[in-house]
Structure 1
Amino acid sequence: MRLAIAFTGPSNSGKTTLIEKIAKKLIDKYKIVIVKNDPKDKAKFDIEGKDSYKFFQTGAEVVITSPTRTTYFSHRKKNIENIINMVDDFDIMLVEGLKTLPLPRIAIFRNTIDESYFDYIKAVAIDESIDKSKIPQNIEILDLNDIDSIIDWIFKNAKRV
């Protein structure tokens, strides 16, 4: 089983928190991989002065390996197929962002709804701050605070990859 599902929503809507809760709940039974989009290229992963930073500054692809982890730094943009092939050994892939990626998608809304997401999503995860009547009928409504029901939805709707 290799399933992939995507999460989208406005900044500070709770995407990362939801993905974190799902991953923590599933990690004992499944191999989980999380892919995060950084559309503004603002994430920092290494510390200036360290060898890995110096290597990455050369423009090369860099792999850092240790007894407990492997880290890959790339200058090349990867599409989802490249990433799937690269990580290969997983049961469930949770993708944050990449709105137009052809994966089943849950949008997370709190306080306000952004209708521009409606064309890209199959479900919304919302809390009591959202008026359910504003959600189109073709989009399933999930309780943002009910992780088990969201996980059930994932297993029923995720794409086999």
Structure 2
Amino acid sequence: MKKRLAVAFTGPSNSGKTTLILKVARKLIHDHQLQVAIIKNDPKDKAQFDVPGKDSYKMSDTGAEVVVTSPTRTTFFSQRHKELDEIISLFGEFDILLVEGLKNLPLPRISIFRDVIDTDYFPYMNALAIDHTITITDYDLPDNVELLDLNNPDNVINWILNNAKVLE
């Protein structure tokens, strides 16, 4: 069995986490021919699943665990909290797991910032992805944190391939 890797992305709202994850995932899939799994944390329960009145919405609204499958996708609706291991097992086979949010998970973490860095994230980050809106010399970056270019997905992918956690 080949090794599976996992890495997490954190940062404030509108910092570019989802955009970066999508760019990285597309390149890993298309350029590197890898299978990618993504977990997105929705801490405020703002995600919308389907449309009221449709069958999948009605089923999910019952409070039951629901899987909706079609020729092109399968969507898992759960009404209960799942631990990371349970969620990972739902994916089956993959090469790289990208996790957005969940800053307390024991995974190597890339923190993403634009305009200003919240130094409260320093204890949780292994890498820092920023763009031109940040003047890094304004901050006392921890020694063990690697600096990445937010607008260079290849730079981020190289870091992931060298630093991601190997899952059992």
Which TM-score tier does this pair reach, normalised by the shorter chain? over 0.9
Matched positions, count: 161
User: 1:136 offset after TM fit, Å?
Assistant: 2.2
User: 1:88 offset after TM fit, Å?
Assistant: 2.1
Residue matched to 2:116: 112
The answer to whether residue 142 in structure 2 is matched with residue 136 in structure 1 is: yes
Q: Distance in 2 between matches of 1:129 and 1:51?
A: 45
The secondary structure found in structure 1 opposite 2:60 is helix
Residue matched to 2:13: 11
The secondary structure found in structure 2 opposite 1:10 is coil
User: 1:143 offset after TM fit, Å?
Assistant: 1.1
Q: Distance in 2 between matches of 1:55 and 1:149?
A: 42
The secondary structure found in structure 2 opposite 1:42 is coil
In the TM superposition, 1:7-156 aligns within 5 A as 7-28=9-30, 29-133=33-137, 134=139, 135-156=141-162
Q: Distance in 2 between matches of 1:143 and 1:136?
A: 17
Structure 2: give runs of 5+ residues left out of the alignment: none
Q: Distance in 2 between matches of 1:112 and 1:70?
A: 38
The secondary structure found in structure 2 opposite 1:49 is coil
Q: Distance in 1 between matches of 2:127 and 2:85?
A: 23
Pairwise CA RMSD of aligned residues? 1.0
TM-score between the two structures when normalised by the length of structure 2: 0.92
User: 1:138 offset after TM fit, Å?
Assistant: 2.0
User: Which deviates more from structure 2 when the two are superposed, residues 102-111 or residues 123-132?
Assistant: 123-132
Q: Distance in 2 between matches of 1:66 and 1:127?
A: 39
User: 1:54 offset after TM fit, Å?
Assistant: 1.2
Structure 1: give runs of 5+ residues left out of the alignment: none
The secondary structure found in structure 2 opposite 1:27 is helix
